[in-house]
Amino acid sequence: MNTGNNVFYEEVRLQEWKRRSTNNFFELVYIKEGKGKQCINYNYYPYKKGNIFLLPPLKCHSFLLEEPTDFVFLRFTQSFFKQQNTKSSNFENWYKEASFILTNYNQKPGDIIKSVYDKKHIIQLTNIISHELKNGDPSSEEVIRIIMVSILHIVMRNVKIINRDLIGTINKDSKFIEIINYIQENISNPELLKTENIAEKFHISPNYISEFFKKTSGNTLKSYIIKSRLKLVEVRLLNSDFNLNQIADELGFSDASHLTRTFKKHTGLTISEFRNKGDYCLLKIV
């Protein structure tokens, strides 16, 4: 099932898992019926009816079917984001939310939706998409696009919950968790991420916040912010038409040369080598 020439929705019943084409963003997978095991990077998680998974990009993922399984795949891709036939579509908002999910998802097996109510909402929205596709009304494409935006919001909300809980199991300091969330939510705003501004936001002295962050996380505040930005650089290099000057300006690098030098320092690759490789570097480090 598709809209235009871009397949974004697929509902299929499988007797055994078949290798799928790679996707530089991600796929949301809803299990309508069946049971078995999900595998990401050789980690296994049992699945059953009602599970909703996020398949990360260019990762080793598969399903071991213990019985025939009905899958629904929602594929989030740049080509789908860029189909803007009406004013209600907003590619930039889609792109930023998808990038947030991609750079913050912990890439472990398991149900991505932790809220029971959110899971019900996604299942209902998925059913509406299926109905709209079968209905074939001229307005269906834009209705589906709006629904996909809603699903994206719900997924992003649950990724934040997962990250909060994950950080909480490592370190119980609520201030540190708040700082991490603040950085991720404002990663595209370099002014807000200056040390003195973060310190002011959380009522900590500029000198102490750097010491506090290093002691709590093992990484310097500056290094954490740079690597978080470079993850977004990777997303943009592989999934957008932005040029280096646009990326540098958006993510707080002084110019394209500064971005290029920083990227090579942290990934070991030039921009050209990275694009030719066509695979993530920092994003694949869990």
% of the chain beyond a pLDDT of 90: 26
Q: Are the C-beta atoms of residues 234 and 187 closer than 8 Å to each other?
A: no
Q: Are the C-beta atoms of residues 277 and 239 closer than 8 Å to each other?
A: no
Return phi, psi of residue 268, to 5°: 80, 5
DSSP percent split of the chain into helix, strand, coil, nearest 5: 50, 15, 30
Q: Report the pLDDT value the prediction gives residue 5, as an integer from 0 to 100.
A: 39
Of 89-98, 147-156, 200-209, 235-244, least confident by mean pLDDT is 89-98
Domains of the chain: 2-168 (2.60.120.280), 174-284 (1.10.10.60)
Side-chain-facing half-sphere of 190: CA atoms under 13 Å: 12
Q: What is the mean pLDDT of residues 29-57?
A: 85
Q: Report the pLDDT value the prediction gives residue 67, as an integer from 0 to 100.
A: 95
Distance CA 231, CA 229 (A): 5
233: pLDDT strictly greater than 70: yes
Residue-wise pLDDT for 4-14, tens only, equals 434 688 899 99
pTM of the model: 0.66
Q: Report the pLDDT value the prediction gives residue 86, as an integer from 0 to 100.
A: 41
| Farthest CA pair distance, the chain | 61
Of 262, 265, 239, nearest to 252 by C-alpha is 262
Q: Report the pLDDT value the prediction gives residue 88, as an integer from 0 to 100.
A: 43
Handedness of CA 128, 51, 162, 40 (dihedral sign): negative
169: pLDDT strictly greater than 60: no
61: pLDDT strictly greater than 60: yes
Return phi, psi of residue 91, to 5°: -60, -40
| More confident of the two residues 106 and 253 | 253
Residues in the chain: 286
